[in-house]
Amino acid sequence: MARITRVLSATAVILGFFGAWELLCRLLHVSDLVLPLPSQILVTLIERFPDLWPHLIQTIASTLAGFTFGVLAGVVIGVMVGSSRLAYDTLYPLLIGFSSVPKVAIIPIFVIWFGAGTIPAILTALSLSIFPVVVNVATGISTSEPELEDVLRALGASRRDILWNVALPRTLPYLFASLKVAITVAFIGSITSETIASNYGIGTVMMVASANFDVALLFAGLALISITGIALYGLFSFAEARFTGWATRKSAVA
């Protein structure tokens, strides 16, 4: 019951926002070269969807590829940083330095190395998704409760047993929290790379639309990107709730 009201009121607010946008644009006679009407954007989106979706698939594929490798690398580095002083002292500063560099400045280097196209997009997604994963996994590992480790150590468990049975499970909520961030930044990364150096993908579509002053298409592309971003985030929130319900004490766990 409470859930239904919540969903309904959220929907109402969101629809209200777009309704107000539509109404204001019409009342103030805003040119559709500046800000198109939501209804116009929707129509363009539906009309151009057959052209758009192969690009979208391309972008999502690059994002997921980069994200997957980024997360794998992030978990490995995070475990090392979280469990070893030396790794903490060496890898962490390197990583922070690398993350401080704007990715727009790195994409040209990827392009020189690998040529324009898919690979720079994947690499950009990868390099962006590593950092949040490393930070969270390292935090999870290094804050592991000694009482829980003692339970295993009293049984004569090895360091590896402890890693698998205490440190990693305990880190899972931290990992999942970072996945939501990582997938979002990976998506942004691959789109950015596509706008700079590619002839395929939703980022490229945006560049072309902007060059042609096709404002409606530009906004349709934005809408598509937002919707996909929300969907990806939602997917990982769902996975988080599903696998780490114990951390939030929800009984809806398998």
By CB under 8 A, name the binding residues for another protein: 147-148, 150-157, 161, 165-166, 169-170, 172, 244, 246-247, 249, 251, 253
182 exposure class (CB count in 10 Å sphere: 0-12, 13-18, 19+): buried
Cβ proximity to another protein, 170 vs 180, nearer residue: 170
Say which residue the tokens 């945006």 belong to: 206
Least gap, CB of 155 to another protein (angstroms): 5
Q: Which residues contact 40 (CB under 8 A, 6 or more apart)?
A: 32, 216
Cβ proximity to another protein, 169 vs 229, nearer residue: 169
Q: How many beta carbons lie within 10 A of that of residue 228, not counting itself?
A: 17
CA dihedral 27, 31, 37, 39 (to 10 degrees): 100
Cβ proximity to another protein, 44 vs 171, nearer residue: 171
CA distances from 145 to 42, 141, 162, 167, 215 (A): 51, 9, 11, 8, 54
Cβ proximity to another protein, 64 vs 168, nearer residue: 168
How many angstroms separate the CA atoms of 228 and 226, rounded?
A: 5
Cβ proximity to another protein, 51 vs 161, nearer residue: 161
Say which residue the tokens 């990583």 belong to: 95
Least gap, CB of 145 to another protein (angstroms): 8
Least gap, CB of 239 to another protein (angstroms): 15
Pick the closest to residue 40 from 227, 217, 226 (CA basis).
217
Least gap, CB of 167 to another protein (angstroms): 11
CA distances from 237 to 56, 194, 231 (A): 22, 26, 10
Least gap, CB of 225 to another protein (angstroms): 35
Cβ proximity to another protein, 29 vs 160, nearer residue: 160
Least gap, CB of 160 to another protein (angstroms): 11
Largest CA distance in the chain: 76
Least gap, CB of 78 to another protein (angstroms): 18
How many angstroms separate the CA atoms of 228 and 105, rounded?
A: 26
Which two structure tokens, joined as six digits, stand for 9? 């009121």
Cβ proximity to another protein, 66 vs 173, nearer residue: 173
